[in-house]
């Protein structure tokens, strides 16, 4: 029996590894989270080896039984991880050998840690896409619910953060929803390339054993096989692609957060984020800080950082595997954790948000948001757009001077600026009239928002 702590890869070396080097080069501290995928991959590998007669069926069964014991040991916290065994792969293999003796030593036939780790990372990432999709869906549903509830709620729409035209809050929520739809598509697309099997590439050139990679792929649920062994063990573009998707999603959440932060300020006071998503200040008793959106904005930088980390990690590596690649895990795992946490907290936060309709409405009234509507009205009466623009400009100046919104002026007051104005003007000057008039695909009219929500609900997965 081999002692569990005897190094599996050290026969060629005559000197023991320097203690700090051992710790410095180890990855088990952070790659042990892939234990399930590592065991799954080993079971598939052993099954494949038996199918091509490299292992006997008895050997295969002993190996699989041993691996299953290890799986429960790990899950029950009975497994002793050892830095001396360097990484998750060798920890599990050493334990297998300790449990099964000679037969355990046969598992590594026809494979290398290089294709093993590439397989584990892909499997792990694939597995984590399931909870990510679930949280993303939950957030989308929360947005649809708010949008539906607030389909008719009017707020000022902004350009340059200056009041531009009235929009419905439902429409505004649906803008964020649309961005998340594209994010979900990006992840789905990336999943196709993640779900490709490296195992069989062995160290870099393939193996002399008659392996059946199609079988391994089928057993592990991969729908593609990495077709070049050098590429299979060395590239991490799939991780970069995932991180790019994550960066774009976080960029969206960060922009959204920026709005929530502005909207929850005393000056705007458009929304209430709910006490459970805010904190107080240790010194200023009046404060209710929008910590969650602020933190999401901050965490976006982390995900961007991880992306540049991975990009930089890859740019100088010659083919094929280099130890540099061990550094792919922490940024990738950090991105997965950050993304999952951010989506989760966002879904909860959006389910709890309340909207201060009156404040939004008053803000829209204060900003002459229907000025464009008046100009469009004049154009429909035959006034050239540039002339109409000037008439409205003068009316707004008058309104500012007399503290009146356009809709609050009398017909006589308005007619002083153009004789084309008659009493039907008030249909377009009200906030409700303004939003209702933008009644086409993609427009802000409540009717369109309701339609968009229906379509979105029917397409949700």
Residues at the site binding ligand ARG, with contacts judged by CB under 6 A: 27, 31, 87, 113-114, 117, 321, 323, 325-326
Q: Which CB, 114 or 165, lies closer to ligand ARG?
A: 114
Q: Report in angstroms how near the CB of residue 251 gets to ligand ARG at its nearest.
A: 29
Comparing CB distances to ligand ARG, the nearer of 232 and 371 is 232
State in angstroms the smallest separation of the CB of 27 from ligand ARG. Answer: 4
For ligand ARG, the closer of residues 332 and 392 by Cβ is: 332
**Least CB distance to ligand ARG at residue 216 (A):** 18
Indicate the residue among 31 and 40 with the shorter CB distance to ligand ARG.
31
Q: How far is the CB of 114 from ligand ARG (least distance, A)?
A: 5
Residue 458 among the catalytic residues: no
Choose, from 265, 281, 301, 422, the residue flagged as catalytic: 281
Q: Out of 160, 282, 410, 458, which one is annotated catalytic?
A: 160
Is 281 labeled as catalytic in the residue annotation? yes
Look up residue 206 and give its two tokens.
């393939």
β-strand 271-272 against 354-355: which pairing, if any? antiparallel
Nearer residue to ligand ARG within complex by CB, 113 or 299: 113
CB of 310 to ligand ARG, least distance (A): 14
User: How far apart (Å, rounded) are the C-alpha atoms in residues 456 and 184?
Assistant: 13
Cα angle, residue 110 at apex, residues 43 and 98 outer, rounded to 5°: 55
Residue 52 vs 319, nearer CB to ligand ARG: 319
Please, which residues have CB within 8 angstroms of residue 384's CB and are 6 or more apart in sequence?
none
Give the shortest CB-117-to-ligand ARG separation in angstroms. Answer: 4
Q: Two tokens at 93? A: 């293999």
Distance of closest approach, residue 344 Cβ to ligand ARG, in angstroms = 28
Q: How far is the CB of 36 from ligand ARG (least distance, A)?
A: 16
Q: Is 410 in contact with 399 (CB distance < 8 Å)? A: no
Cβ closest to ligand ARG, residue 90 vs residue 378: 90
Q: Which is nearer to ligand ARG, 270 or 321 (CB)?
A: 321
Phi, psi (rounded to 5 degrees) for 163: -55, 130
Query: What is the set of active-site residues?
Result: 160, 281
């Amino acid at each position: 029996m081999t002692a569990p702590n005897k190094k599996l890869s050290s026969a060629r070396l005559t000197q023991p590894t320097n203690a700090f080097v051992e710790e410095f080069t180890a990855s088990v501290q952070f790659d042990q989270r892939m234990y399930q995928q590592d065991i799954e991959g080993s079971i598939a590998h052993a099954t494949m080896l038996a199918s091509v007669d490299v292992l006997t069926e008895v050997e295969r069964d002993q190996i699989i039984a041993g691996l299953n014991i290890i799986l429960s040991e790990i899950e029950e916290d009975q497994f002793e991880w050892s830095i001396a065994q360097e990484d998750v792969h060798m920890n599990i293999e050493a334990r297998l050998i300790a449990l099964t003796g000679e037969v355990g030593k046969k598992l590594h036939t026809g494979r290398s840690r290089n294709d093993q780790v590439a397989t584990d990372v892909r499997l792990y990432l694939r597995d984590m896409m399931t909870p990510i999709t679930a949280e993303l869906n939950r957030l989308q549903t929360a947005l649809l619910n708010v949008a539906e509830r607030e389909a008719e709620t009017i707020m000022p729409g902004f350009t340059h953060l200056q009041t531009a035209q009235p929009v419905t809050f439902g429409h505004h929520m649906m803008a964020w929803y649309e961005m998340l739809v594209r994010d979900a598509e990006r992840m789905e697309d990336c999943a196709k390339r993640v779900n490709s099997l490296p195992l069989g590439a062995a160290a870099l050139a393939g193996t002399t054993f008659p392996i059946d990679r199609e079988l391994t792929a089928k057993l592990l649920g991969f729908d593609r096989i990495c077709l070049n062994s050098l590429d299979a063990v060395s590239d991490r573009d799939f991780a970069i692609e995932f991180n790019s998707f994550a960066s774009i999603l976080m960029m969206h959440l960060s922009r959204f957060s920026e709005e929530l932060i502005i909207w929850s300020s005393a000056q705007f006071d458009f929304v209430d984020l709910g006490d459970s998503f805010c904190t107080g200040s240790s010194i200023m008793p009046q404060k209710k800080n929008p910590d969650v959106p602020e933190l999401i904005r901050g965490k976006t930088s982390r995900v961007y950082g991880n992306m540049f980390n991975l990009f930089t990690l890859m740019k100088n590596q010659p083919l094929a595997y280099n130890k540099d690649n061990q550094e792919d895990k922490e940024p990738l795992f950090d991105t997965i954790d950050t993304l999952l946490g951010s989506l989760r907290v966002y879904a909860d936060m959006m389910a709890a948000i309340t909207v201060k309709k009156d404040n939004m409405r008053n803000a829209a009234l204060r900003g002459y948001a229907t000025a464009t509507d008046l100009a469009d009205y004049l154009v429909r009466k035959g006034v050239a757009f540039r002339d109409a623009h000037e008439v409205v400009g003068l009316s707004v100046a008058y309104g500012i001077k007399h503290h009146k919104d356009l809709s609050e002026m009398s017909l006589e007051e308005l007619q002083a600026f153009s004789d084309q104005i008659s009493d039907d003007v008030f249909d377009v000057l009200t906030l409700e009239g303004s939003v209702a008039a933008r009644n086409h695909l993609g427009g802000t009219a409540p009717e369109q928002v309701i339609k968009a929500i229906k379509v979105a609900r029917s397409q949700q997965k």
